[in-house]
Structure 1
Amino acid sequence: MSLPMQRQQDSAGGAPPPAPAPPPVAPNLPGSPSIGNVQAGSAVPPGMNKLRQVTPGIKLRPLHWTRVPNQRLTESIWKAADDRINLINGQQLKQYFASTMVVKQAASTFLGSKNNDLIMDNDKARIVGIFLSSGKMAVKDIAHRLLDTDTSTRLTLDQITALQRIQPSSEERKKYEKVGSVNTDMHSVDAFMLELCKIDNLHHFLEVQQLVQEIPHHLASIPPLMDLMISACEEVFHPAFKRMLEYMLAVGNYVNSGTPRGNCYGFKISSLAQIYTMKSQVKGYTVLNYLIDTIFPHEKELERLPRIMGNARDAAGLSMRDVAMDVTKLESSLDRILSCANQIMAGKPSPAQQTFCTKILKVGQTYRVMTSKLTKKRDMMVAKLMKMAVYLGEVADDDPAELFIPIAQFLSELETATEKAAKATATRAASVKSAKATGGNGDGVASATVSQTSLPSVGPQSHAVSAIKPTRSGWMDKLGTGAGIVKIDKRWFELDDSGSIYYYKKEGGKPLGSVYLRGMSPPPALDESHTGMIVFFVEGKKWQLVSKTREEASAWLRDMLYYK
């Protein structure tokens, strides 16, 4: 929040809430006078009171704001704004917003005046110092909790990760062995490290504790993913999906007859998108609409495909290789746990360490049984996915789970188009009923309904029913990011009456992609800081489209809001 806005809140009455505790940085940063040190300002805008100036003394992170032009200040809220800079806690601001260079200097200052006498190097000492200032965990406590298997009192994963960063290397252990014991002149970080070196097999205990906490999570998260992909594979073999593909092949061969694309015996699953993107003479009417109008009345089960193949939709985005690799990593982690425990037992463990290792070995055997079952299920999942790839005429060497993506997209389009057709049918039925109720015979509406068995009449009738839904097309800039760089692509956009926006590299070309507006949340809005920019979110993805003028953007926004 900018300082002027903070002054506005203070003037509204009531004390500001207390700030959270500042991050741990070194006190008394060098060269940092109080923010209360003020100087006389200069270049005061006409009609405004002079602001007091401050000198923080160190470099702070900049707050990027846009100034109100001087000529507008006297007629704005800022004319009567109080200068409350003397109420700002400058020391806390510096602790929070010091630049990276200053924070690094502060971390060095943390080591105190004895840093020239450190046994460890300054970089490692700085990390240990931060650990001591934030965790405040004694070595005796660490040694005790390393052997603790109670989920409520054992070391947390964050603590284990922090300790793994600062654990002594073999060279550091040799240095501290020469020192022997802690003396009064020793720096606190050296004293801590010296005591840490006395814990035998520290790295083994840390690794065991980490893996013992991570393995249950993997054991719980992997099986549902495998079950989902296995069920999805079985749904692909459903007879209704096979019939759906057969009808698509028949339509494709009919429209492609007499061309090199005709006489096709099978198409790749990635071609499913053509069924709902291929344009007809009627805007918004596709091959999928044709199938729904002409085939579905005789094939009712095809309407239920999105529900029949629910798992295939949910499996979109999963990777067979990733899940199989997770099982392999789980097996390796389990081998590592048992290896570490056995290495500790092979030395001279204390009774407490022996008890800990005995528990770990027992837990490891339990995990081994569970992992063995996962391995068998993984092999079954891979076999089913490979069989599915062959069944669909795809290359089994690729990741077959990627086939669920075009299948899921098709099922979503099918569900949307089926719902739209059902609403159109209900609208026609209501019109017939209304016409008869007012004394008419409803012939005009009834004839439109009866004639849906032939393709030439299907499109215009469906278009007539949906004519009240807004459509739009035109050029806009599509903003995106890649490698941290904002990309601006000029694209031809078309909003159809299903609520989808398709975009093309050129008008009349092949669609590069689409977005279904029914999933917008929050609703789309104009970006006040950019003329002609529309911003909206669909399934968490941010979209930014820029028209030439604000009027064009407003027209697009109005039509898009219809489908939200």
Structure 2
Amino acid sequence: MEGRFDELRRSKRFARILELILAIGNYLNGSSFRGGAYGFQLDALLMLKEVKSKGGNELGAASLLHYLAHLLNKDHRDLLTFMDELPHVEAAARVSFSALLSSTSSLVQGLQNVKNEVRTLSNMKNRDPKDRFLIVMNNFVKRADPTVSSLQELASRLEQELQELLIYFGEDPATKPEDFFSIIVSFSSALAKAQKENEAEQQKRSAALAAKQHPQLQLQQALIFRQ
């Protein structure tokens, strides 16, 4: 995972989507205290589908998320595939980073306990010279120490990189990284679903309009939507 989180900061498509959402939000909020915002928390992405349009509109957009999908499909189709620039986000959403860091810490502490035990036994004056325990454990420590040290260094860099990423997006540094990544994955899925629903609604409206223009198609149209 190390170094792969930079793809979020480098993604121009994701950044552009966030800019559009911010612009839409500021427009809707107008001169209210919520207007003129410079940013928003990422969990707001999951609330877009909750902002409903009363009775829909001429676009058939049932929610702000549906309107965003319509806008992207109409003027920014390349942004609909923003996840192509984030190939590791889905995997990151499935990782428990707290458990990963905790396991690494346990390994480091466990090896330190072994070192302390070996040191204590080495200083014992009455130890059995035929006891091979110290020889075996010393060899184990020599082999394990470089590996555990590397894991500790990697975990430290990973934790720092995650903290920097959360701060970059204005999130609480205490946020669980997997929750942060899950927001992006869930938003991507919801956006794709809204896009499909928009297409279905548009097809329905087009068919209804055609039926009005050609009365003989009304019966056929009714049968299609009844299935």
TM category (shorter chain) comes to 0.7 to 0.9
CA 1:276 to 1:373, structure 2 compared with 1: closer, same or farther past 3 Å?
same
Q: Which residue of 2 aligns with 1:261?
A: 34
Per-residue deviation at 1:316? Answer: 2.9
What code does the residue aligned with 1:335 have?
Q
CA distance in 2, matches of 1:308, 1:418: 19
Q: Which residue of 1 aligns with 2:189?
A: 412
Kindly, what percent of the aligned residue pairs are identical?
A: 20
List per-residue Cα deviations over 1:508-557 (Å, max 9, x = no partner): xxxxxxxxxxxxxxxxxxxxxxxxxxxxxxxxxxxxxxxxxxxxxxxxxx
List per-residue Cα deviations over 1:344-384 (Å, max 9, x = no partner): 44452363x41x43233222222211122122222221222
List per-residue Cα deviations over 1:2-37 (Å, max 9, x = no partner): xxxxxxxxxxxxxxxxxxxxxxxxxxxxxxxxxxxx
CA 1:399 to 1:362, structure 2 compared with 1: closer, same or farther past 3 Å?
farther
Q: Which residue of 2 aligns with 1:390?
A: 167
Return the match for 1:301 from 75, 78, 93. 78
List per-residue Cα deviations over 1:415-452 (Å, max 9, x = no partner): 33334446667x67xx88xxxxxxxxx9839x9xxxxx
What code does the residue aligned with 2:8 have?
V
Q: Which residue of 2 aligns with 1:403?
A: 180
Q: Which residue of 2 aligns with 1:370?
A: 147
Asked whether 1:234 is paired with 2:6, we answer yes
Q: Which runs of 5+ in 1 are unaligned?
A: 1-226, 433-441, 448-466, 470-564
List per-residue Cα deviations over 1:309-367 (Å, max 9, x = no partner): 3432333364544433332221110111222234444452363x41x432332222222
List per-residue Cα deviations over 1:491-517 (Å, max 9, x = no partner): xxxxxxxxxxxxxxxxxxxxxxxxxxx
What code does the residue aligned with 1:349 have?
D
CA distance in 1, matches of 2:106, 2:76: 47
CA distance in 1, matches of 2:225, 2:85: 32
CA distance in 2, matches of 1:415, 1:230: 28
Is the Cα–Cα contact under 8 Å of residues 72 and 80 in structure 2 kept in the other structure?
A: no
Greater strand share, 1 or 2?
Answer: 1
Q: Which residue of 1 aligns with 2:210?
A: 444
**What TM-score comes out, normalization by structure 1 length?**
0.33
What code does the residue aligned with 1:250 have?
A
CA distance in 2, matches of 1:296, 1:359: 66
What code does the residue aligned with 2:153 have?
K
CA distance in 2, matches of 1:287, 1:278: 6
List per-residue Cα deviations over 1:65-85 (Å, max 9, x = no partner): xxxxxxxxxxxxxxxxxxxxx
State the SS of the aligned residue for 1:349: coil
Asked whether 1:379 is paired with 2:145, we answer no
Which 10-residue stretch deviates more, 409-418 or 267-276? 409-418
Name the Cα RMSD after superposition. 3.3
Q: Which residue of 1 aligns with 2:45?
A: 272
Asked whether 1:289 is paired with 2:66, we answer yes
Q: Which runs of 5+ in 2 are unaligned?
A: 214-223
CA distance in 2, matches of 1:374, 1:340: 22
List aligned pairs for 1:123-522, cutoff 5 A: 227=1, 230-231=3-4, 233-237=5-9, 238-280=11-53, 281-282=55-56, 285-316=62-93, 318-345=95-122, 346=124, 347-349=126-128, 351=130, 353-354=131-132, 356-396=133-173, 398-399=174-175, 401=177, 402-421=179-198, 444=210
CA distance in 2, matches of 1:254, 1:468: 37
Per-residue deviation at 1:253? Answer: 0.9
List per-residue Cα deviations over 1:78-103 (Å, max 9, x = no partner): xxxxxxxxxxxxxxxxxxxxxxxxxx
Structure with the bigger RCO (C-alpha within 8 Å, sep 6+) is 2
CA 1:308 to 1:361, structure 2 compared with 1: closer, same or farther past 3 Å?
same
CA distance in 1, matches of 2:150, 2:77: 40
**What TM-score comes out, normalization by structure 2 length?**
0.74
CA distance in 2, matches of 1:443, 1:318: 49
Larger radius of gyration: 1
